[in-house]
Structure 1
Amino acid sequence: MSIFKTKTVKGGKTTEIETDIFYLNQIPDAMEKMGWEMAPKLMRHWFNTKPAYTFTEEVKTKYVTGKAIDIPNERMNDSIIKMQWALKYKQPKDVMDVLINGWASNAGIDQLKIQLEKEGGKKTLGYENDIREIDTFSVVNSRRFGSKFDTIDDWYGAMGNSNMKVAVKGHVDKLNNKDVFVTEQIGMYLKDTYDFVGSNEPLGIWSKNGILDKVSSVDYAALYASGSWMVLWIKYNGYVPVINDSFRKWQKKHNEGGDFMVFSDILWMDPLPQNRIIHL
């Protein structure tokens, strides 16, 4: 038990309030108490990285928008997030439905042509073994999704704002003496960053037992701002606000915790009949 001391006015009476000590690396345990599965695994992966490693904005942008083959092994994870898990949630399921129907748009076909022109011209796509190679050489469409207004759940805690990408597996052929791409399969996967870039971004109000919902978080913030410490202790004893900078301070103190890129596995499926043959 720890003692929290505060004064309501300068020179005023000091109020002492008993409160539980809550350590940042207890958040994964709190997530599991709420029944979350993937969010605690990702956070433990972050905490288990030694020595500490921090993305800069430049590196983050490079890993998100540049060639994924340039991402080192120690800066990525492709074994935790599974598409089967993701599709339990409305946000990724809705986006996947859109991409299944719309990946072969004009922009998608243009990107397909760009991929086929790489490395002096290619006749096949999608047969790479490494997700980073797939991301670099076989992706033809993608969509970013997620909102801070989404429900706080395992999906929100693990991925939040994410990118769903469409890779194609297939080969170039001839049809009526014209080049076509025969789409054998399309693959859906998620790509995201797990980082704490941006010092003041709020990450929720946490205790050993979980996170406050959004309504309770607003109430907590109002009580905190007004200095209503006793009411705050009665209603929300053990809860503390967590921001990105909380994790940066942990890194500096303990020399552990590392930002990384997240890739899911790939969910391969047959294309819709109208997208089986793409005229180049």
Structure 2
Amino acid sequence: MSDGDKIPYLKVNKLLWRWTRYEGAEGCTVVREARLSMDKGPPCLPKPPEPKLTPSRSTPKPRPPEPLVKFLDDIEKMSGGFSRFKSWLNTREPPKELQLVPRPKQKIEQIVPPFDIQEIPGAMRKEFMPVSAKLMERWFAGELNYGPTDKDVAAEINQKGEHYPPDMYDTTTIKLDWVLKYRRAKDQYDELITTQIRTSRARQALKEILLPYAARPCLDARTECGENLSKLHRQFQFQYVKVGSSLSQKIGELLYADFHNNGVPDDLTGALGSFGIYAAVGYAEFYREGNTRVAEISGIYVYIKDSYDFTDKPGEASQYLGHWSKNGVIVLAYNGAMSYLNEPRLYFSYPVALGNPKVRGNVYYPVHNKDFREWAIRHQRGGDFVIYSDRKLVRIDPPIKVYL
């Protein structure tokens, strides 16, 4: 294949931390005889806790045999062993021509080394995405659980028409302090607690939430909900801000807006993609001003909530998540791929090779949301789950006054 037939692609330059375009002699080539493997079996499910055994009465030890009985048993064992040894000596060796010699297994040359979908977390770690890798490994290890539509995902209803089981809520992996190390998340967090919690929309939501508690002197959400973050979110969440874009959205920015130096995926992108920072009532006091009941909110809880799922929107093409190999991720340059494949639907359909395709890691495979759903159906595993970070109590000064 000449240099003119090679497809340009984009790869993250880890020194400059931006997309770098490779083309011409450095471009990639289409590999039509390979496809993403899904043959590797899923991880073992966690073992259920073993039931505790109730203490029982000790079983009496068997009495040793009488000396005479033991002596006779030993003689019988010795005679039986000698008889078998004599029989073995008298057995003639079968003719050598009748002995079957197993044929050596014929080695089948593997043209393209396979890449299994479960190897993506390892590739994520090479792209400095350890938290993203941990969450994806959790998904592979889970029981089958997914929302068939966007509405089901939002309502946390799975393929059985049931609410997500308790083990499909992750409240330990994502820490709010880790998220706020990323500038785009910190900016939105500051916007939430300085401006958005005081908007008219937020005050209206607070009024509807707090009205049922107006007869009390005060409200402590932690007392009401304990450590149940899902309950806190359902009962007391009143405002949120959105952060960032998903991996597929970043790739879209890269391809269609030509942002060659932007949209580089980082660990926050891989772990949460586009997510929300939420505010919920933490502490409120109630009192009267004349004939009006007033709620004064002096503390709120701030936390992250996100859905880890691979559900596509109905009627739309499955979201493209890049081309992956054990060495990491690349993205095909839009114009080059279009001119080579000459068919928009095939744009992300084929693996591509960077160099010799027989070298493991040189072939990069297109990955879409639908590939994870196909793996889940095939293996009856793979659990979509809801992510909650830890919650942070933020003091509000001056307090938010809401007239009920």
Report how far residue 81 of structure 1 moved.
Answer: 1.0
The structural deviation recorded for 1:270 is 1.5
Matched, 1:260 2:354: no
Q: Is the 8 A contact 1:180 1:277 kept in 2?
A: no
Alignment identity in percent? Answer: 27
In the TM superposition, what are the counterparts of 1:130-279 in structure 2 within 5 Å? 130-147=228-245, 148-149=249-250, 150-174=263-287, 176-177=289-290, 178-198=292-312, 200-212=318-330, 214=331, 218=334, 221-222=337-338, 225=341, 232-234=353-355, 237-271=362-396, 273-274=397-398, 276-279=399-402
Q: Which residue of 2 aligns with 1:27?
A: 120
Query: Structure 1 unaligned runs (5+)?
Result: 7-15, 65-69
Distance 1:19 1:223, change over 3 A: farther
Alignment equivalent of 1:46, drawn from 115, 135, 139 = 139
TM-score (ref. length: structure 1) = 0.80
Which structure has greater helix proportion? Answer: 1
Counterpart amino acid of residue 250 in structure 1: W
Q: Is 2:242–2:275's contact at 8 Å kept on the other side of the alignment?
A: yes
Pair 201,56 (structure 1): closer, same or farther in 2 beyond 3 Å: same
Match of 1:13 in 2: none
Gaps of 5+ in 2: 1-30, 34-108, 158-162, 251-262
Aligned length, in residue pairs: 257
Question: Residue 117 of structure 1 aligns with which residue?
Answer: 211
Deviations 1:131-172 (A, max 9, x none): 011101111111233232343110111111111111121123
Higher normalized strand content (fraction of residues): 1
CA contact (8 A) 1:108 1:141 kept: yes
Cα pair 1:204 1:217 within 8 Å, conserved: no
Counterpart residue identity of residue 171, structure 2? D
Q: State the Cα distance separating 1:61 from its structure 2 match.
A: 2.7
- Kindly indicate whether the alpha-carbon contact (under 8 Å) linking 1:168 and 1:185 is maintained by their aligned counterparts in 2: yes
The verdict on how the C-alpha distance between 1:266 and 1:221 changes in structure 2, with shifts beyond 3 A counting, is: farther
How many Å separate the matches in 1 of 2:383 and 2:401? 42
Aligned to 1:126: 221
Paired amino acid for 1:269: V
SS of the aligned residue for 1:247 comes to helix
Query: How much does 1:222 deviate?
Result: 5.0
CA distance 1:115–1:17, change in 2 (3 Å): same
Aligned residue number for residue 173 of structure 2: 80
Single out whichever of 127-136 and 194-203 deviates more from structure 2: 194-203
Q: Structure 2 CA distance, aligned partners of 1:196 and 1:188?
A: 26
AA in 1 matched with 2:282:
K
Please say which structure displays the higher CA radius of gyration: 2
Query: SS at 1:270's partner residue?
Result: strand
Is this contact kept in 1: 2:307–2:386, CA < 8 A?
Answer: yes
Q: In 2, distance between residues paired with 1:182 and 1:42?
A: 39
Contact 1:28–1:44 under 8 Å retained in 2: yes
How far 1:120 moved relative to its partner? 9.1
Alignment match, 1:12: none
Q: How many Å separate the matches in 2 of 1:182 and 1:230?
A: 59
Deviation at 1:233, TM superposition (A): 4.2
In 1: Cα distance, 2:184 partner to 2:311 partner: 24
Deviation of 1:196 after TM superposition, in Å, equals 0.9
Deviation at 1:27, TM superposition (A): 1.0
Letter in 1 for 2:300: I
Equivalent residue number for residue 104 of structure 2 = none
> Are residues 224 and 120 of structure 1, via their aligned partners in 2, closer, same or farther at CA, if it must alter by over 3 Å?
farther
Aligned AA (1:195): D
**In structure 1, what residue type is equivalent to 2:221?**
G
Higher mean Cα deviation, 31-40 or 92-101? Answer: 31-40
Aligned pairs (5 A) from 1:58-73: 58-63=151-156, 71-73=164-166
Q: Residues 117, 108 of structure 1: CA spacing in aligned structure 2 closer, same or farther, 3 A cutoff? A: same
Q: Provide the rounded CA distance (Å) in 2 between the counterparts of 1:170 and 1:119.
A: 12
CA distance in 1, matches of 2:352, 2:370: 27
